[in-house]
């Protein structure tokens, strides 16, 4: 079964590398958004199986985007995995109050990301 994933990151190269890795290693359908506002729209339209959400973006950051995703009935049940360059213990504790499936560190390995997502979400 081909999964649908939404990658939200303001950096074009990160979106491109993650897309390539997910399409090559797992054959997933990948949608991308470069901002929180675009992510809200894309998530509602495409209803992805999971959202990979960058924490640090201009305008609407990952935390705000996540809060809006979770308050919208159309997107509230979509699992979200945060992606951040800051994953120290104090940062992990600040993410504890967020309803996320996992927190992944940047940089990630593009050819292993599908496997890591599947493991976190219990997909076979």
Structural domain that includes position 81:
4-121
* Domains: count for the chain: 1
Closest CA to 9 of 54, 67, 62: 54
Task: Name the more confident of 68 and 96.
Answer: 68
Q: What is the CATH number of the domain that holds 69?
A: 3.40.50.2300
Answer whether residue 33 shows pLDDT above 70.
yes
Eight-class DSSP state of 74: T
Query: What number is the average pLDDT over the span 32-59?
Result: 96
Quote the pLDDT of residue 120: 95
Name the least confident of 44-53, 89-98, 108-117: 89-98
Answer whether residue 96 shows pLDDT above 90.
no
């Amino acid at each position: 079964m081909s999964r649908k994933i939404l990658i939200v990151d303001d950096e074009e190269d990160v979106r491109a590398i993650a897309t390539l890795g997910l399409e090559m290693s797992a054959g997933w359908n990948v949608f991308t958004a470069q901002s929180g506002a675009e992510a809200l729209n894309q998530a509602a339209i495409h209803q992805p199986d999971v959202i990979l959400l960058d924490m640090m973006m201009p305008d609407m950051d990952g935390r705000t985007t996540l809060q809006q995703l979770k308050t919208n009935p159309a997107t509230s049940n979509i699992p979200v995995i945060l992606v951040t360059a800051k994953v120290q213990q104090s940062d992990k504790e600040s993410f504890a109050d967020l309803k996320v499936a996992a927190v992944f560190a940047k940089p990630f390995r593009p050819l292993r990301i599908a496997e890591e997502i599947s493991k976190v979400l219990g997909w076979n």
